[in-house]
Structure 1
Amino acid sequence: MPLKYKIFLSTLGQWIFFGSIIGLVVGTTTNFLLEINDFLGDDIRAKRDWLIFLLPFGGIAIGYIYMKYGKVYSNNTLNDTAELNNLVIDAVHGKKEVPKRMGPIIYLGTFITVLFGGSTGREGAAIQMGSSVSATVNKFFKVNNNDKKLLIMSGISAGFGAAFGAPIAGTVFGMEMAALGKLRFEALVPCFVASFVAYYITTAAWGHEHENFIIKLVPEFTIVSFLKVIFVSVIFALISVLYSQLRHGVQKYSEKLSKKNHMKRAFWGGVIIVVLTLIVGSQDYNGRGLEMLEQSFEEKVPPFAFLAKLVFTVITLGSGFVGGEAIPLFFIGATLGNTLHTFIDLPMSFLVAIGLIATFCGGANTPLAAFLLAMEMFNGKGLEYFFVACIVSYLFSGHHGLWPSQKIFEPKSRLYNVPRGETIENVEKKKTGG
C-alpha cells in the first residue's frame, strides 16, 4: 500500500478513535448534567420558592470557586475558566488552552445557579465539559498542535449534540462556533463522530428524553408568507443584538464596580435578581424557563415575557453566574414570536419556532448549525422558511454576538465595513473608541 494511503487511513483512524472517546465521555457527562439540572430545577427549586433568597450566597460560592480554582497558567499564558465559551474559542484558535478542571467547575457553577433560581441554560456547561474532556485526551495521548484544535472542536460538537439531541447540528456547530465566515472541514470527521456518539450515549444508553416542541401548522409557500418571515426574522435578529450588547455591558459594568471581584459581582447580581423576582411576583423567569417555553407553542403567554427573560438572563450571566445562553435565547425568541402572533397573520406555533431559531442564530452567529437544529428539532417542517430566517437573522445581527472571542474571517456582507481577522470584541472596541 502506498505511503500516502497509509497516512490517510492512520489519520482517519485516529480521528474516529479520539472522536469516539470524546463522544463516549461527553455523552455520559452531559446526561449527568441534564438529569441533575432537571432534578434541581423541577423537583427541588420549583417546589421551594424560598430558595431564591439564597441566590446571592450562591453567587459568592461561584465567585470563590472561579477566583480560587479557575485560573491556570500554561506557557506563560493565563487561562481563566471564568471566560467560559470565550476561552474555548481562544483554544480553537491556539491562543490559549482549556484546563482539565474547566468541566467540573462549570458543572458545579451551573448546578448552583439553577438550584437558587438564576436565569440560565445548559449548553454552555456541556460545551465547556466537552472541551475539558478534549483537553484531557490531548494531553493523555500527546496529540500534535494542529489536531489539538480539531479535538477541541469535536468536544464542542459532542456537548452541543448531546445537550439538545441534535447530532447533525452539533457536528456543524463545533466547526462553526469559533469563527464567522469559515468552516474547518478538516474537523468534520472527529466532530461528526463525537457528536453522534455523545448523542446516542445520552439517549440510547442512558435513556434521556429531550424536550419536544411541535409545529402544528406551516403556512403555504407564498410570497406574502416569505415576506412576513423575513420581516419577523429582522426583529428576532435585533432582539439578539440587544441581548448580546446588554449582556456584555452588564458584565463590563459589574467588573468595573467590583474591581473584578467575582464574589462581589455575583452577590449583588443575585440581590438584583431577588428584587426583580419579588417585583414580578412569580418565578416564571428564573431558572431555565422550560415550562413557559413549551407553553408558548400552545397558547398565549404574557406579552412582555420575552423582555422579562432578557433582563433576568442579562443580569444573571452578566454578574458572574454561569450556565448556557441558548435556552434563554430560545425562550426570548419563542415568547417574542408568541407576542408577534397578535399582529402578524402566521400560525402561532410556527412563528414561535421561527423566533426560537432565528434569535439563537443571531446571537450565536452560526446560521448553518441553527438551520440544522431547526430541522432536527421540528422534524424537517418548514425547511424553506427556516433557511431564510437563519440567513436574514445572521445578516441583520451584524458583527455582534454571545462570544466576543469569535473571529471574523469574512465579514457577513460588504455593506459592513469590518476588517478580516478581527474578533468581535476588537470590532466593538474600535466602534466605541475603547
Structure 2
Amino acid sequence: MLRKITQLEHYSILKYLLKWLFLSLPLGIATGSVVALFIWLLNTSILFRFSHPYLLYFLPIAGIAIHFIYKAWGKSSEKGNNLIIDEIHKPGGGVPPQMGPLVLITTVLTHLFGGSAGREGTAVQIGGSIARLFAKWFKLSERDIKVLLMAGIASGFGSVFGTPLTGAIFGIEVIALGKLKYDAIIPCLFASIIGDITVNAWQIKHTGYHINFTQGNNFLFSGYLHWDLLLMSKIMIAAIVFGLASYVFSEMIHNIKKLFLKFISVKWLIPFIGGVIIILLTFLVGKSDYLGLGVNPEYPESVTILSSFTNGGADALSWLWKTVFTAITLGTGFKGGEVTPLFYIGSTLGNSLAVLMDAPVSLFAALGFIAVFAGATNTPLACTIMGVELFGGEYILYFALACFIAYFFSGHTGIYSSQRIGIAKGWSNKYADETTLKDVQEKRDGYLAMKFSKYKF
C-alpha cells in the first residue's frame, strides 16, 4: 500500500512543494531581512542628504570610491542583475557571495551623495547572492540552482516594493521575452511572500498610492466590466508613448556606457565625470527634484512620484529630465536599480499626457508608473499584477492594456541585456530564438556604424 502511494503523481507533487517550502523559507527570511536593512539605510541616507545638500558636491568622489570598491572586491559582481540572469540560462562562474553586500553599500553611497538611481537592482542582487550561497550550502543540482536563483530574484523584488505576487511573476517572466518559467512559480511565490512578510515584520513601511478616479458604468458591460471606450482610446495612445519612453531610457543608458568606455581609457575617471555632469545638470535645471529615488519630497513643492498623481504635480518635461539624470548616473558606473526612476518617469509622463488629452491625472500617472516599467523590463504580466497590488483591481483592464502595448512598442531592447528572446515581439522572424538583447544591440550598433561610415564629416 505504501509503495503504491509513493508511486502516485500527487505524492511527488507534495514532496516537491515541501522541498521548496523548506528551501524558500530561509531564503525569504534572509533576503527580506537584508532588504529591510537596505531600505532603512537608503531612507536614512536620502533624508540625511536632504538636510545636508552640500553632499552633492562630493558625488564625483563617491563615484571614484565605488569604482575602486568593485575593482578590489567585486570580481564578476559588476555585471549585476545580468550576471544572475546569465547564471539561470547557463551556469558558469557563479554568483559571488559578496555581490549583495557590495551593491547594498554602493547603492547607499550613490543615494547619499545625490545620484539618480533606484533600489530594485540592489534587492534583486541581494536575493540572487543569498540564493547562490544557499545553493552551495545545500549542495543543490544545477537545475535546482536555477530555480533557487529565480526565487531569489522574486524574493528581493517582492520584498523591496511590498508586492509579493508581482515579485513571483517577475521572477519567472524577466528571464526571457515571451516565455514564462512555470517550473519555478511555486518557489518564487513562496520566497516572495516570505520575503515580504519578513520586511513587514521588521516594521518597514512601503509608500502607498491612490488613484482618485471613479469609473462610470458602460452600457454594454454594466455591473461586470467598466469600460469607457473614449478613455480606452486615450490609454492606447498613451501606452505607445510609454513604450517609446522605455525604449529611449534603455538606449540612453546603453549608449552612455558605450560612449564613455570608448573615449575614456582611465576607468575611474568615468564615474568622476558622471558625478560632475550630474552637479552641472542640477544647476542647469535649478532644482534637485531629479536626484535620488524621487519618492520622498525634499521640499513642499518637489516633483515626486506621489506629487505626479495630482493636478499640477509634475512639470511638462519632468520625465525627460529624470531619464537624463538616471541614464548618466547608472551609465557612468554608479550603483542602484532602474525601476524606481522608471516609476518616476512613467508617472510624470502620465501626468503630462493626461493634461494634453484631458484624461484623469491620477489614473494616467498610475498607468505610466507600471507601463514604462513594463516596456523597459519586458515584463508586462508582472507589471499588470503590480498595478493591482499597488492601486487596486478595479482598473486591471486598463493596466493590462497599457502594459502590453508599451511592452510591444519598447521594441527588442531593455535594461537587462542578458534577457533572451523566447518569442519575438510582433511575430518578427528577425531575431533567432534565445538571442539575447545584448546580441540585438550589438547587431543594431554594427548596422548603424556601417550606415554612418558612408558619410564623411
Band of TM-score, shorter chain: over 0.9
- Residue number in structure 1 paired with 2:199: 202
Match for 1:88 among 59, 84, 89?
84
**Range that drifts further, 297-306 or 392-401:** 297-306
- Residue number in structure 2 paired with 1:429: 442
- Residue number in structure 1 paired with 2:223: none
Q: Which residue identity is paired with 1:149?
A: K
Corresponding position: 1:47 with 2:51: yes
CA-to-partner distance for each residue in 1:26-50, whole Å, 9 max, x for gaps? 11111111111111102x0011110
Deviation at 1:346, TM superposition (A): 1.3
Deviation at 1:95, TM superposition (A): 3.8
Match for 2:14 among 9, 13, 30?
9
Deviation at 1:340, TM superposition (A): 1.4
Corresponding position: 1:129 with 2:126: yes
1:215-254, aligned counterparts within 5 Å?
Answer: 215-220=211-216, 221-254=227-260
CA-to-partner distance for each residue in 1:4-43, whole Å, 9 max, x for gaps? 455543333221111111100011111111111111102x
Runs of 4+ in 1 over 6 A off after TM superposition: none
Q: Which residue identity is paired with 1:308?
A: W
TM-score, normalised by the number of residues in structure 2: 0.90
Q: Which residue identity is paired with 2:255?
A: G
Q: Is contact 1:113-1:322 (8 Å) kept? A: yes
- Residue number in structure 1 paired with 2:390: 377
- Aligned partners of 2:169, 2:355: CA distance in 1, in Å? 35
- Residue number in structure 2 paired with 1:214: 210
Q: Is contact 1:81-1:87 (8 Å) kept? A: yes
- Residue number in structure 1 paired with 2:42: 37
- Aligned partners of 2:380, 2:134: CA distance in 1, in Å? 29
Question: Structure 1 residues 138 and 48, CA, compared in 2 at 3 Å: closer, same or farther?
Answer: same
Deviation at 1:161, TM superposition (A): 0.5
Corresponding position: 1:264 with 2:261: no
Structure 2 alignment gaps of length 5 or more: 217-226, 298-303, 448-457
Aligned residues: 423
Match for 1:353 among 355, 366, 373?
366
Corresponding position: 1:189 with 2:166: no
Corresponding position: 1:275 with 2:270: no
Q: CA RMSD in A?
A: 1.3
Q: Which residue identity is paired with 1:407?
A: R
Structure 1 alignment gaps of length 5 or more: 72-79
CA-to-partner distance for each residue in 1:128-176, whole Å, 9 max, x for gaps? 0000000110011111100000000000000010011000000010111
CA-to-partner distance for each residue in 1:317-376, whole Å, 9 max, x for gaps? 000001011110000011111111221121100011111111000001001100000000
1:91-110, aligned counterparts within 5 Å?
Answer: 91-96=87-92, 97-110=94-107
Identity %: 38
Deviation at 1:416, TM superposition (A): 5.9
Question: Structure 1 residues 4 and 152, CA, compared in 2 at 3 Å: closer, same or farther?
Answer: farther
- Residue number in structure 1 paired with 2:135: 138
- Residue number in structure 2 paired with 1:74: none
Matched residue SS, 1:296: helix
- Aligned partners of 1:18, 1:29: CA distance in 2, in Å? 17
- Aligned partners of 1:253, 1:141: CA distance in 2, in Å? 43
Q: Which residue identity is paired with 2:206?
A: H
- Aligned partners of 1:339, 1:399: CA distance in 2, in Å? 26
Question: Structure 1 residues 306 and 9, CA, compared in 2 at 3 Å: closer, same or farther?
Answer: same
Q: Which residue identity is paired with 2:245?
A: I
- Residue number in structure 2 paired with 1:305: 318
- Aligned partners of 2:114, 2:392: CA distance in 1, in Å? 32
- Aligned partners of 1:114, 1:240: CA distance in 2, in Å? 23
- Residue number in structure 1 paired with 2:220: none
